[in-house]
Chains A and B, each alone.
Chain A
Amino acid sequence: MSSEDDLHETDTESQFGFKKDEASAFESEKGLTEETVRVISEDKDEPEWMLDRRLRALEQYHKMPMPTDWPGQPDLSDLDVEEIIPYIRPDTDTRGEAESWEDLPDDIKDTFDKLGIPEAEKEALSGVGAQYESEVVYQNMKEQWEKKGVIFMDMDRAVHEHPEIVREYFMTKAVPPSDNKFAALHGAVWSGGSFVYVPEDVSVEMPVQAYFRMNSAGMGQFEHTLIVAEPGAEVHYIEGCSAPQYATHNLHSGAVEVFVKEDAHVQYSTVQNWSRNTYNLNTKRAIAEAGGRMEWVSGSMGSKVTMLYPMTVLNGRGASDNHITIAFAGEGQDIDTGAKVYHNAPETKSTIESKSISKDGGRTNYRGLVHISDGARNSSTSVECDALMFDNESTSDTMPYMEIGESTVDVAHEATVGKIGDEDVFYLQSRGLDDDDAKQMIVAGFIEPITDELPIEYAVELNRLIELEMEGSLG
C-alpha cells in the first residue's frame, strides 16, 4: 500500500476499488465466502502463503461455533456476522473520495470539541486533511528508528517488505485462527494494523504511537498488530484508537500479537472508545520468554459490547506480566473485559489491576483466568478488582477463574464492589465542590493507578473522556 493511498479516507458508500463486474458478482454472494477472501488478498497483492493462511482461517471460521455458553456473557444475538461481512470490503480497499471534516457525524465532532483537542490534532485524529502533517512526523520518527534497525510500518506493507518475519509470527504462535471464532474471522479478512520490530538490545525510548493508523487506508475493523521485541529490546506501543471511530460498522475484531523475547520489555497501551453500535471482539496475546516483561494498559470506554481479555503466556523463567485495565460502561453498554495469564515457567510473576465504573444501566464485568501450570515453581500472581457503581440500573460482575497446578506458588485474588461513597461526596461538597465535581474528583482518584501509567496526553484524554461520560454528554 502506498502512502498515496493513505491520503484518502474511508468511504463506505462509493467506490470499492475492484472492477465493477467483479464487484457485482461478489455482491451476489451471501455472507463470507472464499471469493471474498480471495478478493481481499488479491487486492492487496498478497503472496500465496498469506492467501493460504486466510483460506485456512476461513475454514476454521465456518467450523467454529459462536461463543454462547460463557456464564453471564454479553448478548451477541443481535450480531449477525453474515450481514456484517460485506462491509469488510470497503475497509479492505478504500480508495473512495476523501470525506471532509464537515462530513463527520455531529456527535463525533462534538466529542472532539469537548475533548478540547486542537483543530490540527482533531483533523489528524479524524483522518481528514491533516495526513500530510502526520505523515511528516511519522516519517521523521521512522528515520530515527530505522537507524537502529527498528521497523514500524503498517501490516499490509510488512507482508511485502518483511515476509520472513511476518511469515514466522503472523497468527502462528500467539493467536492462531483456531483460538476462537472471531480470531478465525480476523485471520480470514484482516486488513491493516501495525507491525513493530525491535532488534536485539535496542530501546525505543519514546512511545511508538499508532495515531497514523487512523489516517491510513484499510484501517478498518480487522486490523492486525504484530510486535516483535528481540532479546533485550524495549518498546512502548500505544494504539491511538482513543478517538471515536467515524465508521458506522458494527463489528470490530482485531488481533494483537506480541513477542517478548528474553529480557525484552514491551508495554502495550490503548484506550478504546468505539462508537456505541460497535461489537468489539478482540483477541490480544503476548508470549514472554525468560526474563521478558509484558505490560498491558487498557481503557475500554466505547462500544456496545466489548469482549476482550488480553492474555500473556509466561513461557520463560522469570518472565513477568502486568495488566492494568479500566472499563467504563454507560447506558446500553456491556463491557466484558479482563485478563488472562498462563504461568508456564518457574519464577514467573503477574499482577492484574482492574477498575471498572458502571453508570446509567451499563454493565461491566471482570472475567479473568490465571493458570499456573505444574512446574511453574515459585510463581506468584495477584489480582485486584475494584468496581464502582453509580446507580441501581447498572450492573457490575466479577468472574475470575484460577487454575493452580503447582504448590510452590502465591496466588491472591481480591475484588470489591461499592457505590460511590456518600461520605466522600459529602466531604468534598462541604469543601465547596458541587455534586458533579465531587463525583468526578472521586472517579479521577479511583482510576489514578491507570492514568499514572499512561503518557500524559492519553491520561488527560482518558480523564476528559470520563468526565464527558459522567456528564452524559458523550455521543
Chain B
Amino acid sequence: MSTQLHATITEETVREISETLGEPEWLLETRLDALSVLDDLEYPSVIQTPGRRWTNLEDLDYEAMIDPRSQSEEKDQIGSEQIRVLSFKDAIDEVPDLLEAHFGSLVDPQENRLIALSTALFTTGTVVVIPAGVDAEDVTIRTTMNGRSLFNYTLVVAEENASATILERQESGESVDDERYYSGIVEVAAGENSTVQYGSLQEFDEQTYNYTVKRGEAGRYATVHWIEGNLGSRLTKTQVSTLLESDNAETRIVGAFFGHNDQHFDLDSRVWHRAEHTTADLVTRGVIDDRSRSVYEGTQEVSQEAWDTSSYQRENTLMLSDESEADASPKLLINNHDTEASHSATVGQINREDLFYMVSRGLPEETASNMLVEGFFVPVLEEIDVEELREDLEAGIAARLTD
C-alpha cells in the first residue's frame, strides 16, 4: 500500500538514474530531496463530497507497478532546424542554464507525492527551445511506453515573439502482463508575446495508470493553448493549468475524452488570473460508455489584482450507458469584481428526437447514434487548430465507436 511506495525506490536507484543522464549536482539534489519527503506528502488532491472521494489514487498498488529499472520507451522528437528539440540527456549538456532556470519553476517537485515520485525517478524527457521571433509549426514528441513504468519530463521554453505547435502522442508499445504506470510532468514557459500550442493525445492501453501534470505560464500578450485528448488508459488523473501572471496573457484549454469499459478519467483544468486584462476559455466535451467514469473539475480563479478579467468555461458530457457515471464540478473563485466570468456544465444522453429523425431518414440506428456522437465532439474539434491532432482524435473517436 501507500506507505510502501518507496520500498523499491531507493536513494541508490535515484543516484544511478542521475548518473546515467550525466546530471549536474543541483538536479541530483532536487531528486534526492523529493525522494526524502515522499512519505510526508499528500496524494494529489481530488474532489471529495460527503461520503465519497471521486478518484482513489491512494488505493493504487504503486509498489507493484513501478519498476524504476525497467523504464523503457521509444521517443521521436522532431522539430524544424531553427528550434531545438532535445532529449533530456542532450539538454543537460547543451542548455544547462536554461534547464536549471526552468526545471520545477511551475510544477513544484514537492507539490504532492506523485509529483515528487516523478521528480525522483524520471529517466527521460524532452526540452524544446524556440528562440525569439521563430515560428515553429510542427514539433512532434511521440512517447511509446515499453516497460512497467515510465516517468517523463517535458519542458517548453518559447522566447519573446516566438510561436510553436507541439504535438505529444503517448501510447503503449510492447504489452506487459500486468498493470503499469505512466507519469508525466510538462512545464511550458511562454515568453512575452509568444504563442505555444501544446496538444496531447493519450492512447495508452487499458492496463496503464496515468498521472499527468501540465502547467504553463503565459507572459505579457502571450498565449498558452492546451489541447487534451484522452482516449486510453485504465485510469487517468490529469491536471492542465495555466498561470496568467502577466498583463494581457491568455489561455485556452480544450479537452475531449471518450471512455469505455471500466476506464476512469479524472480531468482537472485550472486557470489562475493574476494580472490585468487576462483571458481564459475552457472547453471540454466527453463521452462515456459501458462502466466508465469521468470526473471533471475546472477552476477559474481570479485574484484581487486581476482587473478586467474574462473567463469562460463549459463542459458537456454525453452518457451512452447506464452503468457509466459522470461527475463534474466547475468552480469559480472570484476576488475581483471587474470580471466577466461564467461556467456551465451539462450531462445528458443522445437526443432521442435527433435519433428518431435520422432513423426515419433511413439510417440504421447504430449509424445514426454514432453520427450523433461524432457530431457531439464537433464544437471541441473545431477549437483544435492542429490538423494532425484533430484528424487523429477524430479517427480515435470513430474507432472507439466501431469497437
Which residues on A are within 8 Å of B, measured CB to CB? 69, 71-72, 369, 374, 387, 389-419
Contacts and interface: CB of A to CB of B under 8 A. Distances in A.
A71 B331 CA distance: 11
A412 B332 contact: no
A404 B323 CA distance: 11
Nearest to A389: B337
B324 interface: yes
Nearest to A385: B332
A415 B341 CA distance: 8
A400 B331 CA distance: 7
Contacts of B325: 374, 403-405
B367 interface: no
A374 B323 CA distance: 8
A401 to B, nearest CB: 5
Nearest to A390: B337
A31 B367 CA distance: 68
Contacts of A399: 329, 331-332
- Is the contact region of chain A dominated by helix, strand, or loop, or is it mixed? strand
Contacts of B319: 404, 406-407, 409
Nearest to A67: B50
Interface in B315-356: 317, 319-349
A418 B341 contact: yes
A404 B326 contact: yes
A411 B347 contact: yes
A291 to B, nearest CB: 24
Contacts of A411: 345-348
B48 interface: yes
A402 B334 contact: no
A404 B329 CA distance: 11
Given A389-B339, A391-B337, A417-B339, A401 B47 contact: yes
A416 B341 contact: yes
B402 interface: no
Nearest to B345: A413
B349 A409 contact: yes
B348 A409 contact: yes
Contacts of A392: 304, 307, 335-338
Contacts of B344: 412-415
Nearest to B340: A418
Given A401-B47, A403-B49, A408-B322, 9 more contacts: A369-B49, A369-B50, A392-B307, A402-B326, A404-B328, A406-B319, A409-B347, A412-B346, A415-B344
A399 B48 CA distance: 12
B346 A413 contact: yes
A402 B345 contact: yes
Nearest to B327: A403
9 contacts: A387-B334, A394-B337, A400-B345, A406-B319, A407-B320, A412-B344, A414-B342, A416-B342, A417-B341
Nearest to B321: A407
Contacts of A387: 332, 334
Given A391-B337, A417-B332, A417-B334, A402 B347 contact: yes
A415 B329 contact: no
Interface string B289-330: 000000000000000100100000000010111111111111
Query: How many of chain B's residues touch chain A, expressed as a range?
Result: 35 or more
A402 B342 contact: no
Nearest to A408: B349
Nearest to B329: A401
A401 B346 contact: no
B319 to A, nearest CB: 4
Interface in B45-100: 47-50, 52
A396 B311 CA distance: 14
Nearest to A398: B332
Contacts of A417: 332, 334, 339-342
Contacts of A402: 326-329, 345, 347
Contacts of B328: 401-402, 404, 413
Contact of A410 (B52, B335, B348): B348
Contact of A374 (B50, B322, B333): B322
A111 to B, nearest CB: 27
Nearest to A396: B334
B332 A397 contact: yes
Contacts of A71: 331
Contacts of A393: 304
B279 to A, nearest CB: 15
A374 B319 CA distance: 12
Contact of B327 (A69, A390, A398, A404): A404
A402 B49 CA distance: 10
B327 A396 contact: no
Contacts of B341: 416-418
A396 B304 CA distance: 11
Contact of B334 (A397, A403, A406): A397
Nearest to A363: B335
Contact of A401 (B317, B327, B347): B327
Contacts of A390: 337
Contacts of A396: 332, 334
Contacts of B348: 409-411
Contacts of A394: 335, 337
Contacts of A418: 337, 339-341
A349 B344 CA distance: 19
A408 B317 CA distance: 12
Nearest to B328: A402
Contacts of B336: 392
Contacts of B326: 402, 404
A75 B324 CA distance: 37
B329 A400 contact: yes
Contacts of B324: 407
Contacts of B52: 403
Nearest to A381: B347
B332 A407 contact: no
Nearest to A393: B304
